Every structure is written in C-alpha cells, then in structure tokens.
Amino acid sequence: MKSRYQALDTSNPYKNITNTFEDLTVNTQAADFAAQQQDQGRANILGGLAASAGGGGIAALAQSLANQQTQASQAAAASIGKQEQRNQMLAAQGEQRMQQIRGKGEAMSRQMEAAKTSQLLGMSQDRLASAKAARASATDSLLGGVVGMAQVGGSVMDAGGGNFGEGLQNILGNS
C-alpha cells in the first residue's frame, strides 16, 4: 500500500488543456452572397437601361453603380473585420483562461505532493516508533529472564546451604 501511495500521480491535471478559441475562422459566405446579389442587380439594371436609354446615360449610371459596389465591398470587409476582431478577442480570453487553469492545476499539484510527502513522513515516524517499542519490549523481556534466572539460582544456593547440587535436590524433593 505504501508503494502504491508513493506512486500516486500528483502532477498538474490541467497541463494539457488547450485554447478552444485559437483556431476560430471568419465566415465570408454572407459577404460573398451579398456581393453576388449586388452584382446581379447591377447587371440587370445596366441591361435594362442600355436597351431603353441608349449609350449616353449609361456611363454616368455605370459610375454610380461602381461607387455602390465599392461601398458594398467596404461593408462586407467591415463585417469580416468585426468577425476577426471578435475571434481575436475570444482567442485572447481563451488563452488567459487556459493559463489561469494551468496555474490552479500547478498549485493543486504542489499541494497534493506536499500532502503525500507529509503522509509518508508520518508513516515512517510510526514505523520507527513501533520498532523502538518492540526493541524496548524485547530488551525488558531479556533482562527479566536473566534476573529471574539469577533469583532461581540464588534460591537453589540458599536451599543447599551454599551448595548448588544439594539446594536443587532439596527444592525438587529428592532429599
């Protein structure tokens, strides 16, 4: 369990986050369609006027239509420019948000690593305390056995009047 705990992944969970706004594209279909409609309308007007008015007034009308086309192109460009500006704004906001999330993930990673290190230190301290307690208990048992044997040996000597063999026989009842 300790090795599994040591192997616990505490890396930044947000390190691979991406900016979903960085690859936005501009929609030019509406501008293209409007330009086609305007071109068709101008062509229809020029065709109708050429048949009825003759060649003199057509030059002035063509210049007027060219001016309208320039204005329409500028309006389409402005629409595309607004889309591009909005996309750039969203991309910048997405980048800022992505960096904030990565920063939070890095802070989380450091906190998890510190908690893991603290827990492992606690485990080591508990293990050391248990080992010291077991050693002290074994030492106490060993000393208790030596003292007990010395007391038995002293009792045997006393029972035999200083003679170990006689004392042992007296205690065992083989007098």
pLDDT 10s digits, 59-112: 666 667 677 777 777 777 777 778 888 888 888 888 888 888 888 988 888 888
Question: Residue 54 — pLDDT band, cuts 50, 70, 90?
Answer: low
CA distance 22 to 12: 22
Question: What is the pLDDT at residue 110?
Answer: 87
Question: What is the pLDDT at residue 121?
Answer: 86
Question: Residue 154 — pLDDT band, cuts 50, 70, 90?
Answer: low
CA distance 94 to 98: 6
Q: What is the value of pTM for the model shown? A: 0.44
Paired tokens of 47: 């065709």
pLDDT-wise least confident of 24-33, 38-47, 154-163: 154-163
Q: Distance of CA 170 to CAs 131, 149, 154, 164, Å?
A: 44, 18, 14, 10
Q: State the amino acid at position 154 in one-letter form.
A: G
Which has the closest alpha carbon to 113: 3, 31, 2, 5? 5
Question: What is the pLDDT at residue 141?
Answer: 79
Which has the closest alpha carbon to 19: 89, 111, 104, 113? 89
CA distance 108 to 91: 25
The yes-or-no verdict on residue 32 having pLDDT over 60 is: yes
CA distance 32 to 34: 6
What are the residue ranges spanned by the domains of the chain?
A: 9-136
Question: Residue 132 — pLDDT band, cuts 50, 70, 90?
Answer: very high
Asked if 94 contacts 18 with a C-beta cutoff of 8 angstroms, the reply is no
pLDDT-wise least confident of 56-60, 66-70, 136-140, 141-145: 56-60
